[in-house]
Amino acid sequence: MNSWKNARFSIAHIEKKPAKKTPAPPFTTSTLQQEASRKLGFSVSKTMTLAQRLYEAGHITYMRTDSVNLSDFALDAAKKMVEKNYGISYAKTRKYNTKSKSAQEAHEAIRPAYFDKQTIDAGRDEERLYQLIWKRTVASQMADAKLERTIFDIKNNIDNKILNAKGEVLIFDGFLKLYQVSKEDESEENQSVLPRVKPNQTLETIIIQASEKFSKAAGRFTEATLVRRLEELGIGRPSTYAKTIKTIEDRGYVVKKSMDGKQRDIIKLSLENARLSRSIVVENYGAEKKKLFPSDVGMVVSRFLSDNFKLIMDYGFTANIEKDLDKIATGDKVWSSIIKAFYEPFHKQVEITEKESKRVSGDRNLGNHPESGKPVIARIGRYGPMVQIGEGGGEEKPQFAKLMPDQSINTITLEEALELFKLPKTLGEYESEEVIVSQGRFGPYIRHKNKFYSLPKDQDLMAISLEEACKIIEEKRKTAAENTIKVFDKEEILVLKGRYGPYLKKGKRNYRIPKSVDPESITLEQCLDIVEKAPEKKPRYQRKKKS
C-alpha cells in the first residue's frame, strides 16, 4: 500500500446487468422444517408438532407432502389477496413443478386453508408458524423482484492495478415486499449498494483499508441443513426426517449445542491522508449456534458400523431402497424378492460380526500416571465416556472417572483426565455433615446427609465453593418443601406434587394416586394400600432366555 500513498483513482469500467429474484415455491414438509429452523429457531420435531396442530384445527392443508403444487382454488385465492393488499402489478400466478423424481404428489403443497386469514387465534408458536406458511404461499404468487447488478473497475495511476467493487440496486421489490428469503437460501452473497458514478470519473480517496483474512472451516450441520442434505441424498421421506433426527439426538449419538467462539489477532492496514498505519484488531471466530456435534458414543457406533456394515452405511443404500419401494408400489417389482435380496446377505454379515468382532470402546491411551506408572485410558464405558487408570485383569482393579459433559475421549489430555480423579471432592462441613461434589451417571451432583442434589450439566465441580453448594442445597430444600403435600416419617412415605399430578413416594419408587383419592386428606392406610396393590415393577430390559 506504500506505493498508493500519492495515487489517484478513477473509474475504468462500469458494467450494469438487469437481474431478478424469483420467489421460492410453497412449502413442502422438508422446506418447512428448514425455514422454521432458520427463521423461527424451531427444532424439526417441534415444527412437525405445531404443523400437526394447525392441520387438525383446519388452519392449513396436510403437512406431510413433497409436492409444491397448488390447486386452482388456492391460486385464485392467493391472486386476489395479492391484488387487494399490494396492487395488480405485484400479482403473478405461478404453477410450480416438483423436481424430485421420487416425489409422491398425493397432496398439495403446505398452504393456508383460507387465504383471507392472515392471523389465527392460537398459541404464539403456532401463530408464528402459520404466519410463515401464509407469507411463503402468498409470496410464491407475487411478481419477481427487479434488480440492477453493477460492477465497477477502479484503477490507480501508479501501477494501473484494478480494484473491483460489486453491488446492486433494487428497482422493484415485488415479492420481497412480503417475504424475505433466508440467508441459507441465497445463492449469492449479499450485495452492497453502490453510488452512481460515470466512466473515467476521478474518485476522492478518503480511506483505503486492507484486512487479514483466514479461511473458514466447513460449517457443522444444523437440523435444517441436515434435512436438506438428507433430501439431496434421497435418504428417507419428508415425513421421516423429524423422527430420524429425534432418534439420533435421544440416543445420544449427536448433541445439539452452542459454543462460544475464540479470539485471534488480525492485521489491518489503513491508508488515510497519504499516511499508512498498521493496527492489530481482535476477531471472534468459530462460534456455533444450535449445531449438531457428534458425541463420543456416536463416533464409536459410526466407526463400528462403517467397519462391519459397509453396504448399509453407504449413502446410496437408503436412496436405492426408497426407489425399490416406489417400484413395489407401482407393481414393477415383487416385494418378497426385494426383501430376500437384502435380508440374506445382511443376516449373514450379522452372524459374521457376532463371531468375529470385538466390543468397540474407542480406547485412547493418554499416557502413564505420574506416580503409579499405570496407563491412563479414555474410552466408552457402560454409562458413557470415561477415563480409567490401569488396564485391569487379574487382581488389579482399575480406577474410573466419568468425563464432564464438555469433554471428549478424542480430545481430553492426560492432565485433564487426572483432574477427574480428584472427585468425589469434599468442600467442607454444613450442619455438621460433609458436603461432597462428584460426577455421577446422570451428571454432576452434591451429596449431603445421604441426599443427592443435582447440578447443571455445565457446572465446574473444581471451582464450586462450599458457600455456593450450601445455597443450592437450601434452594432445593425449599422447592421440595413447596412440592410436599404430606409426610409419614415412620413409614418413609411422601405425598408430593408432580409434573403430571400428585403422587406418593416410598423409598426410591413412585406410585400413582388414583383420581378418587384426595391427596390433601389421604391417610396412611390409603398410602399403604396403594403401595401394596401396585403392580410389580418390571426391569427396563429383560434378556431373552436361550432355548
φ/ψ of 428, rounded to 5, equals 150, -160
Q: Is 174 left (phi over 0), alpha (psi -120 to 50) or beta?
A: left
Q: How many CA atoms lie within 13 A of 59 on its CB side?
A: 22
Whose grid coordinates read 416410598?
506
Instruction: Report the alpha-carbon distance of residue 471 to residue 152 in Å, rounded.
Output: 64
CA distance readout (Å), 12 to 163, 199, 200, 254, 453: 10, 6, 6, 53, 72
**What is the chain's Cα-based Rg?**
32
The counts of H helices and E strands in the chain are 13, 21
Instruction: Report the alpha-carbon distance of residue 136 to residue 178 in Å, rounded.
Output: 8
The helix/strand/coil state of 427 is: strand
**Do residues 470 and 434 make contact, with C-beta atoms less than 8 angstroms apart?**
no
> Three-class SS string for 231-254?
HHHCCCCHHHHHHHHHHHHHCCCE
- Cβ of 206: how many Cβ atoms within 10 Å? 8
Instruction: Report the alpha-carbon distance of residue 102 to residue 96 in Å, rounded.
Output: 16
**Do residues 179 and 135 make contact, with C-beta atoms less than 8 angstroms apart?**
yes
C-alpha cell, 383: 454409562
C-alpha cell, 409: 475421549
Instruction: Report the alpha-carbon distance of residue 456 to residue 249 in Å, rounded.
Output: 19
**Do residues 285 and 264 make contact, with C-beta atoms less than 8 angstroms apart?**
yes
**Do residues 502 and 496 make contact, with C-beta atoms less than 8 angstroms apart?**
yes
- Nearest in space to 253 (alpha carbons), one of 305, 296, 314: 296
Whose grid coordinates read 386476489?
80
- Write the CB contacts of 273 (distance below 8 Å, at least 6 apart in sequence): none
Whose grid coordinates read 480517496?
205
Q: Are strands 443-448 and 262-272 parallel, antiparallel or unpaired?
A: unpaired
Residues annotated as catalytic (active site), given as ranges: 62
Instruction: Report the alpha-carbon distance of residue 481 to residue 141 in Å, rounded.
Output: 59
Instruction: Report the alpha-carbon distance of residue 45 to residue 51 in Å, rounded.
Output: 10
Instruction: Report the alpha-carbon distance of residue 78 to residue 185 in Å, rounded.
Output: 23
- Cβ of 439: how many Cβ atoms within 10 Å? 21
**Do residues 218 and 291 make contact, with C-beta atoms less than 8 angstroms apart?**
no
